[in-house]
Structure 1
């Protein structure tokens, strides 16, 4: 079945809305939360299931254990009740837990990168539960995104190379493209694009990855 980005985004938004709009809030609070959520999604892109391993929101991980979701192995602390957008994520730790401050502090400690700046902002609306603190962790790209909110090829390709090239020093087997697709294109994805990259960018990533595999730098191709 062909990948339909609009359908994937719409379905993701309904799940996001059902999860984040607090049931214990008053009708007026729920309305305000829904409006804030729409604005955030409009600015930072549709809900996603997982990031490409090169995405600035998850790139600070151990090269031998790639991550596709923000967590403590990417440098974050205090995350709870977290949902993911293409260029940001919202996390909602309980206020009394002390975790909101941990989230803010850990984001401020993340290493800088030329491609994007990661920031954390406490929101003035309730998401998930009225007893939580809603925090938006956003990826502010150094260049404009493409129409549709996808990452430009001139950023996506070098970010991918930064992640994959060092693997030649320890890899023993090269992974099939089918295995690597969700790690390099993100989720959800189709055969030739995703909510993160256009068809043109995805094709460039695939060609470069297969060229590295063909060179033998990762070792023999893993079959099955």
Structure 2
């Protein structure tokens, strides 16, 4: 099936609204409208809703115990997350406490030269009137592309930082087809996703194929 970014963006936005607003039945009409308006503004700022991040994305690449950590959780440095909706440039999480664990864990993340990761409590209710919504933002230190996608100049150094050390332990080289979800994030197409456009995705593919063709990771594993 062809990758239809516009449809994915629309469906993701509808999902976020349903997930984060539908349970707020005990709010007054004014309070609900304030939450709805704040969420709309946040979605405009944070980009499209996503299912998983690329492995090289700053939001999942720090303090990682598991290479395949592709969604914010304790294995990539976060504490206290609950009821989380992820976006291309940040996420909203709604724990049933004051959110301080989330904020403290974000403040403890290692500095990344490509982005500053920040966290702050929101002054509206999301998910539940008993929860404390916290927004975690990925503030890129270099300009994004005109379509707000991540350009090759940012994606490649982050990818290489993650992938080059693997030559020491790898037994086989994985092809683009088997690594595509890791490098593009989900949802994605053959060479693009809600993180990177077609040009950047093609550039990532070329770099990866050049790396595995050196033999540095071992023989190339072909899936039948």
Q: TM-score range by the shorter chain?
A: over 0.9
Matched with 2:137 is 138
TM-score if structure 1 supplies the norm length?
Answer: 0.95
Which moves more between the two structures, 64-73 or 113-122? Answer: 64-73
Structure 2 unaligned regions, length at least 5: none
SS in 2 for 1:120: strand
Q: Which residue of 2 aligns with 1:81?
A: 83
2: CA distance between counterparts of 1:199 and 1:13?
22
Gaps of 5+ in 1: none
Q: Which runs of 4+ in 1 moved over 3 A?
A: 61-64
Q: Give the corresponding residue for 1:158.
A: 157
Contact 1:63 1:167 in 2 (8 A): no
Do structure 1's residue 221 and structure 2's residue 220 form an aligned pair? yes
Q: Per-residue deviation at 1:41?
A: 1.0
Q: Residues 208 and 149 from structure 1, CA distance in 2 versus in 1: closer, same or farther, beyond 3 angstroms?
A: same
Task: Kindly state the Cα deviation for residue 221 of structure 1 after the two structures are TM-superposed.
Answer: 1.8
2:17 match: 17
Structure 1 SS opposite 2:216: coil
| RMSD over equivalenced CA pairs, Å | 1.3
Superimposed CA distance per residue, residues 8-45 of structure 1 (whole angstroms, 9 cap, x where no aligned partner)? 10000101100001333332222111111111111110
8 A Cα contact 1:64 1:167, kept in partner? no
Distance 1:26 1:82 in 2: 24
CA distance in 1, matches of 2:119, 2:211: 36
**How far apart, CA to CA, are the structure 2 residues paired with 1:198 and 1:82?**
25
1:189 is matched with which residue?
Answer: 188
- Distance across 2 between alignment mates of 1:28 and 1:223: 58
Structure 1 residues 171-206: Cα deviation after superposition (integer angstroms, max 9, x where no partner): 111112111111101111011211100111111111
Alignment of 1:1-224 (within 5 A): 1-21=1-21, 22-24=23-25, 25-62=27-64, 65-95=67-97, 100-224=99-223
Secondary structure in 2 aligned to 1:215?
Answer: coil
Count residues with an aligned counterpart: 221
1:2 and 1:135 map into 2 onto residues whose CA distance is: 35
Alignment check: 8 A CA contact 2:55 2:67 kept: no
Q: What do the CA deviations read for 1:114-173 (whole angstroms, capped 9, x no partner)?
A: 100000010001110000000000000001211221012111111111111111011111
